[in-house]
Amino acid sequence: MLTSKNNPKIKSAKKLLSRRGREKAGQYLIEGPHLLEAALEAEADLAEVFLTPEHEADFKLVNQTLISPEIAAELSDTQRDQGVFAVVNQDQKASFKPASPAVLLLDGVQDPGNLGTLIRSADAFHYQDIYLGKGTVDPYSPKVVRSMQGSQFHVRLHQVILEEAMASLRAAGYCLAATELNDQAQALETYNLKKHQKWGIILGNEGNGVRPEIIAASDISLYITMLGQAESLNVAIAGSIAMHHFLPN
- The CATH code of the domain that includes 124 is 3.40.1280.10
How large is the average pLDDT for residues 207-236?
95
Q: Indicate the SS3 state at residue 56.
A: helix
Q: What is the CATH number of the domain that holds 23?
A: 3.30.1330.30
- Mean pLDDT computed over every residue of the chain: 94
Percent of the chain with pLDDT over 70: 98
Provide the H-helix boundaries in the chain. 8-15, 19-25, 33-41, 69-75, 112-124, 142-148, 162-171, 212-217, 235-245
Residue 107 and residue 229 in one domain: yes
pLDDT of residue 41: 96
Evaluate whether residue 20 is within a structural domain: yes
* Calpha distance 147→78 (Å, rounded): 13
Q: What is the DSSP letter of 188?
A: G
Residue 199 has pLDDT above 90, yes or no: yes
Number of domains in the chain: 2
Threshold 0.85, pTM exceeds: yes
**Domain limits at 158?**
102-246
Is residue 12 situated within a structural domain?
yes
Instruction: Give residue 184's pLDDT.
Output: 86
pLDDT confidence of residue 95: 60
Is residue 63 domain-shared with residue 180, that is, in the same domain? no
Residues 80 and 113 in one domain: no
Q: In the structure, what pLDDT confidence band is assigned to residue 97 with cuts at 50, 70 and 90?
A: confident
